[in-house]
Amino acid sequence: MVDSHQLSMALADLAVESLIEELSLTPKPGLVDQNDQGSHRDLTYSIMMTSAISLHETFYQMAKVSFSEEPSQYLREKIGEIGRAGEKVMYEATNGVNTHKGAIWSLGLLTAAASIHKGQVDETRLCFTAGEIAKFEDRFIPNQLTNGIKAIQKYKVHGAKREAQMAFPHIRQFSLPILKSKLLNGCSYETAKIYSLLALIANLDDTCVLHRGGMEGLLFSKQYAQRLLDAENLEELPKMNDDFIIRNLSPGGSADLLAATIYLYKLAQLKIIYEENNVNEVSFK
């Protein structure tokens, strides 16, 4: 029998680690990283680090409640409640700045799915289970006109909710395959993650980008990322960062999905060691 506490701790560790890996990846266009704040005036590396660490309990709780469950409206609403409490913790840790709202959503659903499947590592299955949970209606979502909803209505795009309900197609089709293929081709882990991020920016209708730069900003970001991917040229990344900052563009949705991609990739390295039907160790290799 897998122990629910141990598994939930391991999954929460992994979720926070993935957020920290995303944050620490440098340089990233328009996003907060170790060099600069990208296009964000109110966000810093240290605020984002504090925020990531503060979310451990949120992911732990999401894993814990999902352990003996299946996707259901009950589970969707339970996860929503924990996620909203997590958003409060995040805002308290950051003095009111939105650092990881999208990440709580995407990584939270994947953590719930990983717990349901007792830590097994088939990424596609995890994406679809997370999508099943997301498809149930949460009757307690506050009726707020968020930046995401405004962009979805104005530009007729999908946004974070649909991305999850469709079982994270941009992770399954773009970011995870490119991460793996770049690693197989001998790229370093850091370089492979940059390519993975570029593949997301080139393809995702990111409501953060739309909110800040409109459709023109979204097309600019997508084409820029695609050009670097086609040319396999990462030397232009610092200039890409400058060009995004000038236009106030920040691909926050792509950053969240990169963290989710890292999470799925690292989960495949999670070893659950059984001994006489009892887990005696859960560790990352």
Ligand X SMILES: Nc1ncnc2c1ncn2[C@@H]1O[C@H](COP(=O)(O)OP(=O)(O)OP(=O)(O)O)[C@@H](O)[C@H]1O
Q: Which residues bind ligand X (CB under 6 A)?
A: 22-23, 31-32, 38, 40, 43, 48, 98-103, 147, 208, 211-212, 250, 252, 255-256
Phi, psi of 211 (to 5 degrees): -60, -40
Structure tokens at 87: 């958003």
Choose the contact partner of 32 out of ligand X, ligand COD, none; CB within 5 to 8 A by kind.
ligand X
CA of residue 89 relative to chain centroid, distance: 18
Residue matched to tokens 């059984």:
274
Which one, 231 or 246, has the nearer CB to ligand X?
Answer: 246
Q: Shortest approach of ligand COD to residue 91 CB, angstroms?
A: 12
Alpha-carbon distance values, 197 to 43, 178, 244, 283 (Å): 20, 9, 15, 27
Secondary structure element (H or E) that encloses residue 280, with its range: strand 278-284
Which partner from the list ligand X, ligand COD, none does 23 bind, CB cut-off 5 to 8 Å by kind? ligand X
Tokens 């060099």 — which residue? 35
Q: Which residues contact 188 (CB under 8 A, 6 or more apart)?
A: none
Q: In Å, what is the CA distance from 203 to each residue of 48, 72, 169, 242?
A: 25, 30, 10, 21
What, of ligand COD, ligand X, none, does residue 264 touch, CB below 5 to 8 Å by kind? none
Question: Which listed range, 43-51, 113-121, 160-168, 221-229, lies at the site for ligand COD (CB under 6 A)?
Answer: 160-168
**Contact set for ligand COD, span 107-146 (CB under 6 A):** 108, 138, 141, 146
Binding of residue 80 to ligand COD (CB under 6 A): yes
What is the closest distance, in whole angstroms, from the C-beta atom of residue 119 to ligand X in the complex?
Answer: 25
Residues forming the site for ligand COD (CB under 6 A): 79-80, 83-84, 87, 101-102, 104-105, 108, 138, 141, 146-149, 158-161, 163, 204-208, 252-253, 256-257
